[in-house]
Chains A and B, each alone.
Chain A
Amino acid sequence: MNSLFLLVLLPLAFACIITLVGKRLKNFPEAVTIAVTLFLSCTSLYLLKMLDAAGSVIVYKVGGWLPPLGICLVADGLSVFMLLVVNTVALPVAIYAWSYMKIYTAKSKFYALFLLLLGGLNGVIVSGDLFNLYVFIELTSITAYILVAFGINAEDLEASFKYAIMGAVASLFILLGIAFLYGYTSTLMMADISFVLSARPNTVLVGFVSVLFLTGFGLKAAVVPFHSWLADAHSSAPSPVSAMLSGIVIKTIGIYALTRVFFNVLGAQQNILFVLMVLGTASMVIGAFLAITQNDIKRMLAYSSVSQVGYIVFALGVGTPLAILGGIFHLLNHAFFKSLLFLNAGAIERAVGTRELNKMGGLNSRLPVTGLTSLVGAMGISGVPPFGGFWSKLIIIIAAVASGHLVFALIAALVSIITLAYYLKFQTLAFFGVARKKQPEIKEVSFTMKSSMVALAIVCIVSGVLLTPRCSHFLNQATHVVAAGMGYRDAVLRAVK
């Protein structure tokens, strides 16, 4: 069977199987989830190989129907890049969840929802038409609402309700945009919409639809005027879920979908790019200032996500190929170190019993592995030289200077210093210094949790290698899809014929 189809079908199928039999078989849901995520990571790697053989794009026609009548799944450089990021983050998270989720009841439901979330994310990435994109975004969002409320504490429920209402309104804005586009172009396939729009340009419609999509995807990605749900939702969820949400969900259903629609379907107009740039800068600044005042670790990390997503959106807004390369590389780096930091936060919470920074101190002697990996994550995200995060931020700032946006570049550099400040605060208060009180009962977390944190930390350390000429093809082909804009349409339409 086609590997693109498997990427979506397999997690959804196993989610159903786990729901049916997961309660009766011990350790079955955990083992199946890890096996599926491992398989999906391998499939994404295989797709990367396939893509080189097939040229620039792989198209799979579902049921053999010819597009634009039938549905098609599309994998190009950007999709394969996103698939690899999503599935390789999901694997350590699934391993971590094995022992982390032991204290919860209804574990099998958690794993079923986890696989549904993963299936939805893969679906968003490979879908070639707008309506499928919407359906998979909804699938991802609904599972995310449920997973946020998984602990059913009062705070979890409140956060989940807030997230659900804002997310549902965002989805409806996206659907309204799709309805307008369909009314004008009479087609749903993204490449075909782009083709019709280039033959019959309509600036009023495209402008209006852009605003609807910007609101919808902006809410999903928690860009600044729409960021208020993120800190509640991401800090209340169980830690593996927070890692998934902050690490990949907001990037896939927010930034990836936004990039695909704006750059490849509607065409990147100068005014939209400027709006992205301003929103990105606002997110960077406001997210960083909100993060520095937090006392709760997970809330700090969540606001830091707002700030880092701001960098990515800003880079897309600058719009030169170099800036897009920086944005895409930062997306990859942020996915890895933010999921690592959320897993660290979960480990700390499990070992110490609190998430409040001013009740910790001197944890390095008790939690050596957690301390070391979180140091790697914090150094990576705040842009200390050998780590990947430094190179991606450097590229973004250089690209902003090169295209003449000096003020924005200066702001980006300053925010990077604030980022360093609040991660130093986190490290100092939690891991260094002396213990606040005698806590002999604090023990390092279990082996599975440690191993997944170490795996993610290693990726954070070596991710800078991706920029070397031998490996840069991987990032370059993703950048090329975004920078070429309408090249997506030609490539897909050629592959379909």
Chain B
Amino acid sequence: MTAYFLCLVMFCIGLYCILRKRNIIKIIIGLGIIDYSVSLFFVLIGYRLHGRSPILAGNQTIVNMVDPLPQAMVLTTIVLGLAVTMVTVSIAVRIYGKYGTFDITKIKRLKG
């Protein structure tokens, strides 16, 4: 239960980071934090206390195994998160080149 609660705290930290920070690099880091908290939550769903790996061997019965599917999905999620981070960071670099600042309040040429 504590793990789930900490997961929620992490999600909120990430959301706070995106909503309140002015530096766009910090916003990207906030996005990463949310990404990790959701991944962690996904892994926790599949976890069983004192569980074992779900590998079938000849002469044993498996009573308490960890669900492998969330782990496979989290791998995909991590890769997608990497892609998003790469795109946003490369845009941030270009933004710095054009505007000369990372401050989100000074990057506002679009209006209306």
Q: Do A and B bind each other?
A: yes
| A157 close to B41 (CB less than 8 A) | no
Find residues 35-74 in chain B having any chain A CB closer than 8 Å to their own CB.
35, 38, 41-42, 45, 67, 69-70, 73
**Which of A131, A155, A231 contacts B73 (CB under 8 A)?**
A131
| A157 close to B95 (CB less than 8 A) | yes
In the complex, whether B9 has a CB less than 8 A from a CB of chain A is: no
| B18 close to A157 (CB less than 8 A) | no
In the complex, whether A39 has a CB less than 8 A from a CB of chain B is: no
A157 in contact with B98 given A165-B31, A169-B18, A175-B38 (CB within 8 Å): yes
| A182 close to B45 (CB less than 8 A) | yes
**Which of A142, A154, A293 contacts B83 (CB under 8 A)?**
A142
A139 to chain B, nearest CB (A): 8
In the complex, whether B16 has a CB less than 8 A from a CB of chain A is: no
In the complex, whether A210 has a CB less than 8 A from a CB of chain B is: no
Per-residue interface assignment for chain A, residues 283 to 295, with 1 indicating a CB less than 8 Å from any chain B CB and 0 otherwise: 0000000000111
| B109 close to A182 (CB less than 8 A) | no
With a CB–CB cut-off of 8 A, which chain A residues contact B107?
A: 158, 161
Bound together, the chains give a CA A175 to CA B92 distance in angstroms of 25
B46 to chain A, nearest CB (A): 9
Per-residue interface assignment for chain A, residues 96 to 110, with 1 indicating a CB less than 8 Å from any chain B CB and 0 otherwise: 000000000000000
**Which of A142, A145, A155, A165 contacts B110 (CB under 8 A)?**
A155
B33 to chain A, nearest CB (A): 10
- The main secondary structure of chain B at its interface with chain A is helix
In the complex, whether A149 has a CB less than 8 A from a CB of chain B is: yes
In the complex, whether B91 has a CB less than 8 A from a CB of chain A is: yes
A98 to chain B, nearest CB (A): 26
Chain B: CB-nearest residue to A146: B87
A149 in contact with B91 given A135-B80, A165-B27, A169-B18 (CB within 8 Å): yes
| A231 close to B91 (CB less than 8 A) | no
B61 to chain A, nearest CB (A): 20
A120 to chain B, nearest CB (A): 12
Bound together, the chains give a CA A145 to CA B91 distance in angstroms of 10
A154 in contact with B91 given A165-B18, A168-B84, A172-B34 (CB within 8 Å): no
Find residues 61-112 in chain B having any chain A CB closer than 8 Å to their own CB.
67, 69-70, 73, 76-77, 80, 83-84, 87-88, 91-92, 94-95, 98-99, 107-110, 112
| B38 close to A157 (CB less than 8 A) | no
| B91 close to A157 (CB less than 8 A) | yes
With a CB–CB cut-off of 8 A, which chain B residues contact A161?
A: 24, 88, 91-92, 95, 107
Bound together, the chains give a CA A159 to CA B94 distance in angstroms of 13
B21 to chain A, nearest CB (A): 11
A172 in contact with B38 given A161-B95, A294-B112 (CB within 8 Å): yes
Bound together, the chains give a CA A157 to CA B110 distance in angstroms of 11
With a CB–CB cut-off of 8 A, which chain A residues contact B42?
A: 175, 179, 182
Bound together, the chains give a CA A231 to CA B111 distance in angstroms of 9
| A149 close to B112 (CB less than 8 A) | no
With a CB–CB cut-off of 8 A, which chain A residues contact B73?
A: 131
With a CB–CB cut-off of 8 A, which chain B residues contact A157?
A: 91, 94-95, 98
| B45 close to A183 (CB less than 8 A) | yes
B12 to chain A, nearest CB (A): 13
Bound together, the chains give a CA A314 to CA B38 distance in angstroms of 31
A164 in contact with B18 given A158-B107, A182-B45 (CB within 8 Å): no
Bound together, the chains give a CA A131 to CA B41 distance in angstroms of 15
B93 to chain A, nearest CB (A): 10
Bound together, the chains give a CA A294 to CA B108 distance in angstroms of 17
Bound together, the chains give a CA A296 to CA B112 distance in angstroms of 9
With a CB–CB cut-off of 8 A, which chain A residues contact B67?
A: 186
In the complex, whether A236 has a CB less than 8 A from a CB of chain B is: yes
Chain A: CB-nearest residue to B107: A158
A270 to chain B, nearest CB (A): 30
In the complex, whether A138 has a CB less than 8 A from a CB of chain B is: yes
In the complex, whether A152 has a CB less than 8 A from a CB of chain B is: yes
| B109 close to A158 (CB less than 8 A) | yes
A179 in contact with B112 given A160-B91, A169-B31 (CB within 8 Å): no
Known: A168-B84, A169-B31. 4 other contacts (CB 8 A): A154-B95, A154-B98, A161-B95, A164-B88
Closest 8 CB pairs of A and B: A154-B98, A183-B45, A138-B80, A232-B110, A179-B42, A168-B84, A157-B95, A164-B88
Interface residues of A (CB under 8 A from B): 131, 135, 138, 142, 145-146, 149, 152-155, 157-161, 164-165, 168-169, 171-172, 175-176, 179, 182-183, 186, 188, 231-232, 236, 293-296, 299
Interface residues of B (CB under 8 A from A): 15, 18, 24, 27-28, 31, 34-35, 38, 41-42, 45, 67, 69-70, 73, 76-77, 80, 83-84, 87-88, 91-92, 94-95, 98-99, 107-110, 112
